[in-house]
Amino acid sequence: MNRKVLVAGLAVVVPLIALLVLNLGRDPHAIDSPLVGRVAPPFALVPVGGGEPVSLDSLQGRPVVLNFWATWCVPCFQEHPLLVSAARRLGDEVQFLGVVYQDEERNVQDWLDRHGSSYPTLVDPRSKTAIAYGVIGVPETYFIDPQGRIVAKHIGPLDGETLMARLSQARGGAPRASNAP
């Protein structure tokens, strides 16, 4: 038995394998947002088609669902009916807001006319709000509690179950890390 070879070999190999074992359950798609648990970046954005700017401050006291989306995004189209029906059903309990991500206002208006809506959709000039929230792609949805703190972030299209779970968090559950699509 060559002890030098054994010790050197194990010294290289064992830590590497241990590292892999430790990371086995890791999901690289789960990107922690540093914003979760923090106060949501403020904004005041004009709705599509014009009108008074909607500001986050004016919505305090209610949970807010902030959905970044675009007309060119297929999964946004997929999750749209869920958001529309949830917003109708929950009425004033929860404020749903759409924020347009890298799109033309005219396209958005056409799209909304065709597919319907039940909550305001805001225009985000030069993506300032998207940048403040650290949006990396659409759809991305932020759940904000009545005190104006971000409690959860969802990447990718929402399903009903996830939406309800995150909403109950926003209504008073504990802050939780983001999750994967």
Partner 1 sequence: MIALLGRSLILLALVASSTGALVGLAAGWRASAKGAVLARRLAYVFAAAMAAANLLMVWALLARDFSVSYVAQVGSRQVPDWVAVTSLWSSLEGSILFWGIVLGGYVALATWTNRDRHPEYMPYAIGTWLACGAFFSFLLAGPAQPFHSVPQPPVDGPGPNPLLQNHLLMVVHPPFLYLGYVGMTIPFGLASAALLRGRLGNDFLRPLRTWLMAPWVFLTVAIVLGGWWAYEVLGWGGYWAWDPVENASFLPWLTATAAIHSAILTERKGILKGWTTTLVLASFLLTILGTFMTRSGVFNSVHSFTQSAIGPTILVFLATATIWSVFLLAARVNHFAPEGRLEGARSRDGVFLLNNLVLVLFTFTVLIGTVFPLLVEALRGVQMSVGRPYFDRMAVPLGAALLFLMGVGPALPWGSATGEQLRKALLPPLAGAAVGALVGLAAGARSPWTLLTLAFAGYALQVTLREMSLPVRQRLSRGEGLVPALVAGELKQGRRRFGGYVVHAGVVVVVVAIAVSSTLGTSEELVLDRGETATVGRYHLTFLGIDEVREPHRTSLAARVEVTRDGKELGVLSPRMSHYDSQREPIGSPAVRTFLFEDLYLSVMNLDAGGGRLGLHVFVNPLVGWIWPATGIIALGGLLAVLPPPRRRTAVSRQPVTPPAGLGPAPSESR
- Residue with Cβ nearer partner 1 (37 or 75): 75
* Minimum distance of partner 1 from residue 159's CB (angstroms): 14
Pick the binder of partner 1 from 41, 47, 75, 175 (CB under 8 A).
75
- With a CB cutoff of 8 Å and minimum separation 6, the contacts of 137 are 155
The region of 18-26, 49-57, 58-66, 84-92 touching partner 1 under the rule CB under 8 A is 18-26
Q: Does 138 bind partner 1 (CB under 8 A)?
A: yes
Q: Does 9 bind partner 1 (CB under 8 A)?
A: yes
- Residue with Cβ nearer partner 1 (75 or 148): 75
User: Rounded to the nearest 5°, which phi and psi values hold at 142?
Assistant: -110, 140
* Minimum distance of partner 1 from residue 118's CB (angstroms): 23
Question: How far apart, in whole angstroms, are the C-alpha atoms of residue 155 and residue 66?
Answer: 12
Q: Does 139 bind partner 1 (CB under 8 A)?
A: yes
Instruction: Check residue 101 and report its DSSP letter.
Output: -
Q: In degrees, to the nearest 5, what angle opens at C-alpha 147 toward C-alphas 145 and 153?
A: 30
* Minimum distance of partner 1 from residue 71's CB (angstroms): 7
Q: Does 1 bind partner 1 (CB under 8 A)?
A: yes
Pick the binder of partner 1 from 37, 82, 102, 112 (CB under 8 A).
102
- Residue 158 burial (C-beta neighbours within 10 Å; 0-12, 13-18, 19+): buried
Q: Around 21, how many Cα atoms within 13 Å sit in the side-chain half-sphere?
A: 6
Question: How far apart, in whole angstroms, are the C-alpha atoms of residue 123 and residue 41?
Answer: 16
Pick the binder of partner 1 from 42, 137, 160, 172 (CB under 8 A).
137
